[in-house]
Amino acid sequence: MAMTSNKMVLNFVEDMKAMACPDSVIWIDGGEEQLDALRAEACTTGEILRLNDAQLPGCYYHRSAVDDVARVEDRTYICCKHKEDAGPTNNWMAPAEAYKMAGDIFKGAMSGRTMYVIPFSMGAIGSPFAKVGIEITDSIYVVLSMAIMTRVGADVLGMLGDSNDFVRGMHSKCQLDKEKRYILHFPEDNAIWSCNSGYGGNVLLGKKCFALRIASYQGRNENWMAEHMLILGIENPKGETKYVAAAFPSACGKTNLAMLIPPEGYRKQGYKVWTLGDDIAWIRMGEDGGLWAVNPEAGFFGVAPGTNRNSNPNALETTTSGTIFTNVVLKKDKTVWWEGMDKNPPEGALDWKGNPWDPASGETGANPNSRFTAPARNCPCIAPNWEDPVGVPLSAIIFGGRRARTAPLVYQSRDWQHGVFVGAIMASETTAAAAGAVGVVRRDPMAMLPFCGYNMGDYWQHWLNMGEKITKQPKIFNVNWFRLDEEGHFIWPGFGDNFRVLDWIIRRCDGAADAKETPIGFVPLPEDIDISGIDYMISPGRAFDGEALKDILSVDKSLWLEDVASIKEFFAGFGDKLPPEIAGELAELEKKLSV
Ligand code: GTP
Ligand code: SPV
Ligand code: MN
């Protein structure tokens, strides 16, 4: 039974039905009863498996196809009328061609299957900034995951009313044929078509497809910003909370930073970190002239490997109920395990492919991009105001990536324009979150390279324009937790100790900390970063100390000049879409490095 009389929604569903030819259509109402029935059905077919109810109540296990475990950037397209509007960093296809190609793939793809219609909201229902999508899918895993990651059901249609302002999302697993796998975005039509995948980032269309690729396009037209950013609050001993948003590329530490627990010394003084979001921020101008951020999601689709009681106890706690685990190790007692959880790989377990796993084999048990899908409300440090419809005011914006050598632990931009440049020159080593080689340095502006729904040159201009419009500009910083020593060990302890850097950032925002000016921006003096109580061995013979701190605060001009050469080459691809202000900042940087 259709749950709405909205003609646009009904027409969309009818069109997709006519194309995919499902045996039946089910509208997702958002109630537990329906979701429970779907869970039971998916357990019967083996699509998911119920985990140990005593230890992991309401949790399920899922495996994706072995060749379908990450986003496929080379098969992801922006389909707008003019190629130039997609820009040099996106794959482009003409809309008519894309609809035709995918239409042929979708033809009859759901015959013998049920088509689910998921009305979902990005943002709290009732928030003036929330946006609606309808996702059609033939996967119960997608329905259950969307019910965790977004707000789904009848209330969403109530909020939409008769409006045509919704994203039309069409997904089918089809045959999971990787040669016919496409993730197609039509920003000018508010539409997303995804076929032949069952992996989260390709199929949970509310996330990267809508909340970043389509929303970034909408934000440019409507004067707001959709960013690949976590949002956190830092409460000081006086009970005042300041908010920051941080953009790091995939698998570079957003979830971890969002949920961090400050070192003991800070905790004793009364410092606390509150989580508002771990992956996506929608940012608008507030009435006070500042920038305000909301998290449009309702759950976390987090990286499992490396999550443990020390690195991120809050994430671990978040996943103890109502969670779906994908591609992790399945233990005999129907609990889960992954590399980096503890030092006791389980015996008699099944690996992420479903085969008996021998920990001594040298193969990992969990896929490096294995993930958990967990409700945000489960998180012990979720901010009490995380669903506030107007969001939270940002004091600082932080960029960061994985750089073995070039970028120092932290530096601050001179002003907004220079800060936009700092975001635009971001680079990071690739990770398992996307298909392809891992560990290769690539330029990834604002951590948005795979997620910007239009020409990145226009995107930088939009950042500059937003800075002009606001009167209270957040301060802009860059961090790098990933500097390596000669032998490849992380020099900085990271995780909870990253709070020491957040502390400097907040003190800079308050005008309460000093800094040294360098060619790239303001770097802390070693004595400005509190390293008391750090207990970390960089390598067997070397403890982290003041010397190590000096090392990772250093700015090596020759390395930076190499980076300038790579930036020039990257920027050249944008032609006259490169804002002159950004070109000017690059010339300035080169000049400062050359003296
Ligand atoms: P996406 O969900 O893909 O967007 O990733 P993310 O940015 O949320 O990354 P996440 O926090 O899940 O971290 C990814 C990996 O980086 C995990 O294996 C972490 O253990 C590791 N990591 C996170 N923070 C740090 C840190 O401060 N230092 C080091 N060395 N590793 C870290
Ligand atoms: C990322 O890759 O940045 C993720 C996971 O957050 S996915 O939803 O697959 O994009
Ligand atoms: Mn992400």
Q: Which element (helix H / strand E) includes 458?
A: helix 456-469
What amino acid occupies position 217?
Y
8 A C-beta contact, residue 473 and residue 467: yes
Question: Across-strand partners of 294?
Answer: 282
What pLDDT score was predicted for residue 1?
72
Question: Is this structure's pTM higher than 0.95?
Answer: yes
Q: Which of the four pLDDT bands, split at 50, 70 and 90, describes residue 406?
A: very high
168 lines ligand 2 (CB under 6 A): no
pLDDT of residue 595: 87
Ligand 2 contact, 301 CB (< 6 A): yes
Ion ligand 3 neighbours (CB, 5 A) are: 250, 279
Ligand 1 center–CA 197 separation, angstroms: 24
The pLDDT of residue 356: 98
Average pLDDT over residues 12-28: 98
Q: What is the mean pLDDT of the chain?
A: 97
Report which ligand 1 atom has the smallest distance to the Cα of 498.
27
Residue recorded with tokens 């395990």: 337
**Ligand 2 atom nearest residue 250's Cα:** 3
pLDDT tens-digit readout, 253-304: 999 999 999 999 999 999 999 999 999 999 999 999 999 999 999 999 999 9
The answer to whether residues 252 and 490 touch, using CB atoms and an 8 Å cutoff, is: no
Ligand 1 atom at minimal distance to the Cα of residue 249: 7
Ligand 2 pocket check: which of 208, 295, 367, 402 to mutate, most ligand atoms within 8 Å of Cβ?
208
Return the beta strands (E) in 65-196 as ranges. Answer: 76-78, 91-92, 114-122, 131-137, 151-152, 166-172, 182-186, 191-195
**Over the stretch 59-93, which tens digit does the pLDDT of each residue have?**
999 999 999 999 999 999 999 999 999 999 999 99
Establish whether residue 274 lines the binding site of ligand 2, counting it when its CB lies within 6 angstroms of any ligand atom. Answer: no
Using DSSP's 3-state secondary structure scheme, residue 119 falls into strand
Task: Give residue-wise pLDDT tens across range 489-534.
Answer: 999 999 999 999 999 999 999 999 999 999 999 999 999 999 999 9
Which pLDDT value is given to residue 81? Answer: 98
Name, in order, each residue with C-beta under 8 angstroms of 566's C-beta and a sequence gap of 6 or more. Answer: 427, 443
What are the pLDDT digits (tens) for 102-113?
999 999 999 999
Which structure tokens are listed for 185? 């975005």
- Here the contacts of 5-11 (C-beta below 8 Å, separation 24 or greater) are 5/162, 6/157, 6/160, 6/161, 6/162, 6/163, 7/162, 8/162, 8/163, 8/164, 8/166, 9/119, 9/134, 9/157, 9/160, 9/166
Q: Whose CA is nearest to atom 24 of ligand 1?
A: 253
* 481 Cβ below 6 A of ligand 1: yes
* Mean of pLDDT values over 236-243: 98
Angle formed by the axes of helices 580-594 and 416-424, nearest 10° = 80
Label residue 2 by pLDDT band (50, 70, 90): confident
Pick from 204, 201, 259: which is nearest to 231 by CA?
259
CA-nearest residue for atom 5, ligand 2, is 201
255 in ligand 1 pocket by Cβ < 6 Å? yes
Residue nearest to atom 19 of ligand 1 (CA): 306
- At residue 15's C-alpha, the angle toward residues 10 and 18, to 5°, is 125
Contact 224, 283 (CB under 8 A): yes
pLDDT at residue 161, rounded to an integer: 97
